[in-house]
Amino acid sequence: MALEEHESVGTPDWWLLRLGRRLTDRQPNLRVWWDYYRGEPPLPQGPKKESEAYRDFQRKARSNFCLEVADSSVNRLRVIGIADGEGRPDTEAWRWWQANRLDARQAVLWRTALALSEAYLMVGPHPRDERRPLITLEHPRETIVEHDPATGERLAALKAWYDDVAGVARATVYLPDQLVRYETSSRGRGPMRWGPKIWTRLQGPDGGGPHQLGSVPVVPFACRPFLGEDPVAEFDNVIDIQDRINLGVLNRMTIERYSAFRQRWIRGHKFRKVTDPETGLQTVEQPFKPGPGAVWASEFENAQFGDFQQSQIDDLLRAHETDIRDLLIISRTPAYTYAGNLVNISPDTIEALDVSHVAKVEEHQANFGEGLEETLGMAARIAGVERDFTAAEVRWRNPRLINPAVAADAATKKKAIGYPLAVIAEDMGESPQRVQRIVSEAAADQLAGAQALQMAADATAQAQTPARPPVGATGDGGDDGGA
C-alpha cells in the first residue's frame, strides 16, 4: 500500500521521503571520506596506461595521512567520568554508560564522527527491560537528522537500512513524540529509492508508537560544525594535499624505476621484426638486455651505443617533506607525528608543537560533551530518574601531554597555597570516581593518624602520672594492734 500522507508537511510519511532523499544525496561524500580515511583514495594519475601492472604500480604510490589526521584527535578524546552540577561523581549516569559499553565503544563514535563528518547515538528502552536505557551507535550512511533553523532543536530523524534476512529495506522515522516504522516490498540490494509507492507504513504493534522522551531520540555528533554549513570530515581541507603527495610519490617511483639508473640508447642498428604466432602482430626483437655478464655487440658499421644521464630525486624528496608538513600544519596535527629532522626534542618543544592540536581537541570535547549530556538526559527519563542533566559535566582526559614531574610539582605548589585535595586530583586528570576515592582514603588516613597520635598521647600521660597508695594503708606501714 502506497503512502497516503506524503504530501502533508510534517507527517511521518513526509519526513520519511524528505530525510530519505537527503540520506541518499550525502552517500557520495561519505564514500569519498571513508576511502580517504582507510587509505583508498583515487589512484594518482600519471601517463595513461590501462594495464593492470600499471594500476598495481599506482596503488603502491598511495600514502595514507588522512587516517593519522583523524586518529590523532581520536586518541586524545576519552571520557573518564560524569559529574553532577556540584562536581560529585554521578554514579547512575556512569552505570548507564558502563552498561552500554560506551567506555570501550566511545572511540568508535569519535572515529566515525571525525572520519565521516557525523555520527549518532540513539536512545531507547532496552527490549528486555523498559526501565533500562539502551544507547546505540548509529552510522551516518543509515541515519540522518534535521534541525529547526530557528532554535537548533531536532525536528525529526531517520534510520534506513537493508534487512538481509527478510530481503527488504526498512526505515524508522523519529519525531519528538513518536516513532513510525516503514518497509519496502522484497527487492534486491542497490541504492534506496524514495517514492510514495515504494514504501509501506507498518500497522499495529510493529508500526511504532508514542514515546515520552520529550525530543527526537537520535543525537548527532558533528565534526566541528560551521554556522549554516554541513559538517565535513576532519581531513576534508587537506584532501588536495593528500592527492598531491600521492602524485609526487608516483612521479618519484616512476623515476626510480625508469630513470634513476642510466638508460642506454642504440643508434645505427637495424632491429629484426618477428610475428607473434598467436596474435599475428609484428613486434621488434630486443637482443640487447642489461645484465652483469651481458656484452652488447652489433654487426652494423655505424652502430653506436650510449646512455642518458642519471636522474636526481633529491628535489622530489624535499618537495615530499614540504607537502607533508603543509598537510600537518593545515590540519592542525602535531608536527612531531612526522619527525623529519626533529632529533632529541625536549618536552617543552613537544608541548609548544602541540598547542594548535590541543585547541582543536578541546573544541571537539566541548561539542561532543553537549551531545553526551543530552543523551544521558533522555536515558534518565527512561530510567525514571527525575534530574536535570543540563548542569551535568562530562569529564575528559586531559588532551595535553604533560610531563609527570611537572604535574606533580604543580600539585605540590597548589597544596601549599591551600587548594583542596579534590581540586588538585581533578586538575591532575583523575576521574570523578578516582577523586572521590582519593579524598575518602586521605580522610581515612588522617583519621587513623589522629587516632594513633591520641593513643600515643594517652599512653605517655598515663606513664607520667605517679602511682597512688592503696586505700587504708598507713603512712609507715606499722602494726596498730594491741598487746
* Cα dihedral across residues 214, 218, 224, 228: positive or negative: negative
Residue 480 has pLDDT above 60, yes or no: no
**Burial zone of 367 (CB within 10 Å; 0-12 exposed, 13-18 middle, 19+ buried):** middle
Mean pLDDT of the chain: 84
Average confidence (pLDDT) over 38-63: 75
Average confidence (pLDDT) over 29-35: 90
Rounded distance between C-alpha atoms, residue 323 and residue 164, angstroms: 44
Rounded distance between C-alpha atoms, residue 410 and residue 399, angstroms: 17
Average confidence (pLDDT) over 461-476: 66
Residue 481 has pLDDT above 50, yes or no: no
Helix pair 314-330, 239-258: axis angle to 10 deg:
170
What is the pLDDT, as a whole number, of residue 187?
A: 65
Predicted confidence (pLDDT) per residue in 133-162, tens digit: 999 999 999 999 999 988 889 999 999 999
Average confidence (pLDDT) over 160-181: 91
Predicted confidence (pLDDT) per residue in 214-260, tens digit: 899 999 999 988 887 889 999 999 999 999 999 999 888 888 777 65
More reliable by pLDDT, 440 or 324: 324
User: What are the residue ranges spanned by the domains of the chain?
Assistant: 1-263+312-401, 264-307, 404-463
Tell me the pLDDT band of 483, cut-offs 50, 70 and 90: very low
Q: List, in sequence order, the alpha helices (H) in 60-122.
A: 66-74, 91-99, 102-116
Looking at the chain, the whole-number percentage of residues with pLDDT higher than 90 is 33
Tell me the pLDDT band of 402, cut-offs 50, 70 and 90: confident
* Cα dihedral across residues 410, 416, 421, 423: positive or negative: negative
More reliable by pLDDT, 62 or 239: 239
What is the pLDDT, as a whole number, of residue 381?
A: 92
What is the residue type of 75?
Answer: N
What is the pLDDT, as a whole number, of residue 474?
A: 56
Hunting for cell 526505515 — which residue is that? 171
What is the pLDDT, as a whole number, of residue 482?
A: 47
Average confidence (pLDDT) over 83-102: 88
More reliable by pLDDT, 438 or 149: 149
What is the pLDDT, as a whole number, of residue 133?
A: 94
Predicted confidence (pLDDT) per residue in 259-315, tens digit: 656 677 888 888 888 887 777 778 788 887 776 677 888 888 888 888 877 777 888
Looking at the chain, the whole-number percentage of residues with pLDDT higher than 70 is 91
User: Lowest-pLDDT range, 60-69, 361-370, 374-383, 395-404?
Assistant: 395-404
What is the pLDDT, as a whole number, of residue 444?
A: 80
Grid coordinates of 70:
583523524
Tell me the pLDDT band of 189, cut-offs 50, 70 and 90: low
Grid coordinates of 142:
543509515
